[in-house]
Amino acid sequence: MTVLLVGYSDLQEQVLLADAIETRGHEVLNCDVRDWPGGPPITLTPGSSEALLGTQFDYDDITGAYIHHSLLFQPYESRFTDQLTDDLIPVLNQLREHRSIFQSLSRILEDHGADVIPPFHNYGFQDRKPWQLHLYDLNNLHIPDTVFTNDPDELRSFYDTHERVIYKPVTRGGGPHELTDDDLTQERLEKLATAPIQLQEYVPGDDIRIYILNGEVIGAMRYESDQFSFKLDLKNGDRDSIDIHAATISEDIATTVTRAAKQARLIFTAADVRRRQDGTYSLLELNETPRFAAAHTHIGQDIAGQLAEFLLE
């Protein structure tokens, strides 16, 4: 059996997953998208049972695929910055054409019965955060009060009606920041016109990340960081440091995150939750290709192994 991995071949998650598959005696087709544009031959022929991505393979030999959609020739990747600066439209077209090959390959593999993570319908899942949170709220899952807006009046109103407010991008880019009186000047508020933002009530407590695969919780960790997180509590020391601990979660949280994954139709995901000291919690988001190397490497949660088993079924 063979599993196709698409992304960066030296990405920790891709390395761990490849190892887990190979130690089970199966083959990995490890595809590094940085080989293109300009890399080995790519050929997809409608009607053929085979494809060529540098290496030729038969669709029916692929039992599963793990595809990092966020690395599929996206214009925001820094490796394209210089080309985009010099030759904007041709390079955008070039990236779109390559993206189409890999997105189509994903659909073809699904049609041939492979388990593809994430499924095509979840590509760009995190770029639809307003819908994601709307979905959870619609299903009575606990989320923080949130609004997405470019309206200064809406911002002021949200600020006035919540004790502490976080602002962060609608999708990706910058980290979370706390909204303060200094942000309410006319000069600051005029900048909302460049892009809508996400405003969210601050939820005190621990950052919990919970891994879910095929409807089951397969790992959970608590982490402390002043970076890359919704957590704003200041932490002394190295700004790059992050402390990770295995976490146990209540049945209520497990039910909430597995329900959220089901509603979002995510096969594998990580749910980010803020858990208060009294055990109550808020679900912040789910991620379609979550990082899991830290949980795997530091606290021995065999996320890669469980993923491998699933992709080999």
Partner 1 sequence: MDHFIADLDTDDVAEVERRTNAAGDNISGIALVVF
The residue ranges that bind partner 1 (CB under 8 A) are 12, 70-71, 74, 76-78, 81, 126, 167-169, 172-175, 177, 183, 188-189, 191-192, 194-195, 197, 209, 223, 225, 227-229, 240-244, 287, 289-294, 297-298
Nearer to partner 1, 51 or 271 (CB): 271
Name the residue nearer to partner 1 (CB basis): 12 or 280: 12
Q: Which is nearer to partner 1, 74 or 280 (CB)?
A: 74
Q: Which is nearer to partner 1, 45 or 186 (CB)?
A: 186
One-letter amino acid of 125? F
Strands 115-117, 27-32: parallel, antiparallel or unpaired by DSSP? unpaired
Q: How far apart are CA 146 and CA 151, in angstroms?
A: 14
Q: H helices of 173-302, where?
A: 186-190, 251-264, 293-299
User: Do residues 33 and 105 touch, judged by C-beta distance below 8 A?
Assistant: no
CB of 146 to partner 1, least distance (A): 15
Written as six digits, the tokens of 153 are 């009046």
165 in Cβ contact with 200 (< 8 Å): yes
Angstrom distance (rounded) from CA 121 to CA 127: 13
When the beta carbons of 53 and 270 are compared against partner 1, the nearer one is 270
Cβ nearer to partner 1, comparing 62 with 144:
144
Q: How far is the CB of 140 from partner 1 (least distance, A)?
A: 27
CB of 74 vs partner 1, minimal distance in Å: 8
Angular region, 181: left φ>0, alpha ψ -120 to 50, beta rest: alpha
Smallest distance from partner 1 to CB 289, Å: 7
CB of 79 to partner 1, least distance (A): 8
Count Cβ atoms within 10 A of the Cβ of residue 23 and give its class: 0-12 exposed, 13-18 middle, 19 or more buried. exposed
Task: Please report how close the Cβ of residue 39 comes to partner 1 at its closest, in angstroms.
Answer: 18
The CA-based angle 226-220-278, given to 5 degrees, is 75
CB contact set of 79 (below 8 Å; sequence gap of 6+): 34
